[in-house]
Copies of this chain bind each other. A is one copy, B any other.
Amino acid sequence: MYILRTIKPEIRILAFDDGPFEFGTRGKDVLIGTIFRGGLFLDGVLKTDIEIDGDDAEKKIIDLVNRTKHKDQLRVIMLDGITFAGLNIVNIKKIFESTHLPVIVINRKMPDFEKFLGALRRSGNKRGLECVEAAGPVYKFEIDKKYIYFQFAGCDKDVAERVIKISTTHAAIPEPLRIAHLIATAIVRGESIGRA
């Protein structure tokens, strides 16, 4: 099993974000992966689609990671939260086990677990509850007097923090996720709108 210890400035990160969509719509949403060298520059872009409120995001992410020609260079996966396209929730322990790459989840706000777990329990979403548990505790990380919140699987907290630090170069969010967001938004809306 590969263990991530050394964090080089050009560490290859594959970061995923989904496109915006209207609440209540059905169908597909776009999922974008950006392959970055640290927080420096983009080496490649991956695209697939996932079902709104479906359960295919985890499998699609694992497939994209394992099939990309960049796989051998990749050292870590980043996700914008554990839910994509509505309630298409992923289990980061399973993503780690199936790709042998550590997974770092970034949340721009502290997740409202009470509300989220309540909704999952009411709808009897057992898999969703397992995914939340697998994502583990939430830690905060300070960037320019702002906080982002992170979870991780397959690495130490210290390693996760160093990856976040090295990849956060131009905004209060790691650069690979910022760019994945810009691309996914442009695909859906025609023009991207920065969030950071």
Measured CB to CB, the residues of A under 8 A from B are 32, 41-48, 68-69, 169-170, 175, 179, 182-183, 185-187, 190-194
The answer to whether A47 touches B187, judged by C-beta atoms less than 8 angstroms apart, is yes
Known: A68-B191, A187-B187. A45 touches B170 (CB 8 A): no
Contact A190 B48 (CB under 8 A): yes
Using CB atoms, name the residue of chain B closest to A188: B47
Q: Which residues of B contact A182 (CB under 8 A)?
A: 42, 44-45
The residue in chain B whose Cβ has the minimal distance to the Cβ of A182 is B45
- How many Å lie between the Cα of A169 and that of B187 in the bound state? 26
Residues in chain B near residue A32, CB distance under 8 A: 186
Cβ contacts A to B, 29 pairs, < 8 Å: A32-B186, A41-B169, A41-B170, A41-B175, A42-B179, A42-B182, A43-B194, A44-B182, A44-B186, A44-B192, A44-B193, A44-B194, A45-B182, A45-B183, A45-B186, A45-B191, A45-B192, A46-B186, A46-B191, A46-B192, A47-B186, A47-B190, A47-B191, A48-B190, A68-B191, A69-B191, A183-B183, A183-B186, A187-B187
